[in-house]
């Protein structure tokens, strides 16, 4: 590293001079509107204006930016779709927000091997639209318009994880730019390898603190021959949770099983025009495979649901009906927001072993009642993960009430052998829970890795690794 000017503002200007000299002058913006758009994601944490935004179009651009940042000790955070809910993309003051949203190319397509390589700024929706004619699709579905690089960085999951797994199981390799600007490739196209450290898994879930992911080698899957969806409503939340648990324990290869409690269903019925449904706890199911296999899955699932006091199934066999149901599920946040348009909706998540899910949700509902807040519950109950959409006043006092409830929910999850986040990640929002969950020794190893790979701490500083205070429960 060269000698750097003392003040953060001077170091930033030195880095921007080097970036412009490196051929990226037209891709640097200090426009107030651009800075504001990159000052936050969808978290309740306060926004912070970056010193500049740089728009990358290829891996070489990212390398140029990182070399300049490393030489001048300037902090940097990658920005994709800006959909993170735990403060991952909030930049540091006098730092650079590196926007990868223009990196949207499919670099290579290997339909015969069921894999492809894409730039990190491509969204999963855009990828699936472009490869539809191949008969293949990418199944990880977190719901939002997330970029694939961001999904890798947060180890994203979603509605289809119960069948297809998370990003961890669906990424074969990565192109990563390190803090120094050096470019490496991890993994490859083969489905297994017994050579070297598993660096691909190291970067998945690292939240941009160890390197910037610029390309992703993805596993693809064949589109099921038959798809069928169903909805079953329950008068009792416990019956719905028990149904989901028993479906998984019986080994039924269901594609999706999603829960919306009565509060969420009431909001979704109004917002998404789900005519014909009651304000009751509801399970959404999807089945995929050969026709005979789907029939078997449906029969077994219906038997379990009815044995747990489920009401009559409603079927959605046409593509239009299935799309309507799943769009309603993905629009749950906006449905909750519409309940009180002037309020703030804070989305949080946690996960427990599936056998503990019923106990966790029962306890969480007690905490919600004690808080006096309106909180719809929904989630990917097939893998023990659920979300709380905390509706609160958009004031410091309202945020404090929401945070207190979130802490109580996380405490319950950790006490049951769970995790403070099943898919949202850590960012800034879950920092205080990390030592309780993982232990001081494990965090020491994480910090050693961080220091070895980013000794100047320029990559997304202040995220993922807690600097001090620890939540004790």
Contact present, 120 and 149 (Cβ < 8 Å) = yes
Shared-domain flag, residues 158 and 127: yes
Tell me the three state secondary structure of residue 19.
Answer: helix
Q: Which of 132, 130, 203, 142 is nearest to 172 (CA)?
A: 203
In which residue ranges of the chain is pLDDT below 70?
1-5, 44-45, 468-473
The residue among 328, 350, 366 that closes a domain is: 328
Check residue 471 and give its pLDDT.
36
Give how far Cα 142 sits from Cα of 25, 104, 380, Å.
Answer: 35, 19, 10
Check residue 466 and give its pLDDT.
86
Check residue 337 and give its pLDDT.
92
pTM: 0.92
Check residue 468 and give its pLDDT.
45
Shared-domain flag, residues 212 and 258: no
Domain-located, residue 368: yes
Question: What one-character DSSP code corresponds to residue 323?
Answer: H
Domain-located, residue 67: yes
Q: Could you give the CA distance from residue 174 to residue 186 in angstroms, rounded to a whole number?
A: 5
300-320 pLDDT, tens per residue?
999 999 999 999 788 877 888
The residue among 295, 328, 361 that closes a domain is: 328
Domain-located, residue 464: no
Shared-domain flag, residues 120 and 204: yes
Tell me the three state secondary structure of residue 442.
Answer: helix
Q: What is the CATH number of the domain that holds 321?
A: 3.30.70.2190
Shared-domain flag, residues 349 and 417: yes
Domain-located, residue 379: yes
Q: Which single residue is written with the structure tokens 């659920």? A: 386
DSSP string, 175-229: EEE-TTS-EEEEE-SSS---SS--HHHHHTTSTTSS-EEEEEEEE-EEPPSEEEE
Look at the alpha carbons of 100, 101, 102, 104 in this order and tell me if their dihedral is positive or negative.
positive
Give how far Cα 81 sits from Cα of 96, 221, 307, Å.
Answer: 16, 24, 43
Domain-located, residue 51: yes
Structural domain harbouring 311 = 226-328
Beta bridge partners of 371: none
């Amino acid at each position: 590293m060269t000698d750097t000017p003392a003040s953060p503002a001077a170091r930033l200007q030195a880095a921007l001079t080097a970036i412009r000299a490196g051929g990226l002058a037209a891709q640097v913006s200090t426009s107030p509107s651009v800075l504001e758009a990159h000052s936050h994601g969808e978290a309740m944490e306060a926004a912070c204006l970056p010193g500049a935004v740089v728009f990358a179009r290829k891996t070489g651009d990212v390398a140029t930016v990182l070399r300049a940042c490393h030489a001048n000790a300037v902090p940097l955070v990658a920005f994709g779709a800006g959909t993170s809910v735990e403060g991952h993309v909030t930049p540091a003051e006098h730092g650079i927000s590196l926007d990868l949203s223009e990196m949207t190319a499919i670099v290579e397509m290997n339909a015969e091997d069921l894999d492809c390589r894409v730039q990190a700024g491509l969204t999963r929706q855009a990828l699936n639209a472009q490869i539809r004619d191949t008969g293949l699709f990418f199944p990880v579905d977190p719901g939002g318009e997330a970029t694939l690089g961001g999904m890798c960085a947060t180890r994203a999951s979603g509605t289809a994880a119960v069948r297809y797994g998370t990003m961890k199981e669906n990424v074969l390799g990565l192109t990563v730019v390190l803090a120094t600007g050096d470019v490496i490739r991890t993994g490859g196209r083969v489905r297994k390898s017994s050579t070297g450290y598993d660096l691909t898994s190291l970067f998945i879930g690292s939240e941009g603190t160890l390197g910037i992911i610029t390309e992703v080698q993805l596993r693809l899957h064949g589109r099921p021959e038959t798809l069928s969806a169903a909805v079953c409503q329950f008068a009792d939340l416990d019956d719905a949770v028990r149904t989901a648990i028993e479906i998984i324990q019986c080994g039924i290869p269901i594609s999706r099983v999603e829960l919306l409690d009565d509060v969420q269903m009431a909001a979704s019925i109004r917002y998404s025009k789900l005519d014909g449904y009651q304000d009751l706890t509801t399970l959404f199911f999807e089945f995929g495979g050969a026709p005979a296999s789907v029939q078997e899955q449906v029969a077994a699932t219906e038997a379990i649901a009815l044995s747990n006091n489920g009401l009559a199934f409603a079927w959605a066999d046409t593509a239009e009906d299935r799309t309507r149901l799943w769009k309603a599920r993905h629009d749950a946040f906006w449905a909750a927001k519409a309940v009180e348009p002037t309020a703030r909706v804070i989305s949080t998540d946690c996960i427990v072993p599936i056998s503990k899910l019923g106990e966790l949700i029962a306890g969480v509902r007690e905490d919600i009642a004690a808080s006096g807040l309106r909180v719809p519950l929904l989630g990917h109950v097939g893998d023990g993960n659920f979300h709380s959409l905390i509706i609160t006043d958009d004031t410091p006092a309202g945020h404090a009430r929401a945070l207190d409830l979130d802490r109580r929910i996380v405490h319950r999850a950790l006490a049951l052998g769970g995790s403070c986040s099943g898919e949202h990640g850590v960012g800034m929002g879950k920092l205080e829970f990390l030592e309780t969950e993982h232990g001081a020794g494990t965090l020491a190893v994480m910090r050693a890795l961080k220091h070895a790979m980013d000794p100047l701490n320029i990559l997304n500083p202040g995220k993922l690794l807690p600097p001090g205070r620890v939540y004790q429960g």
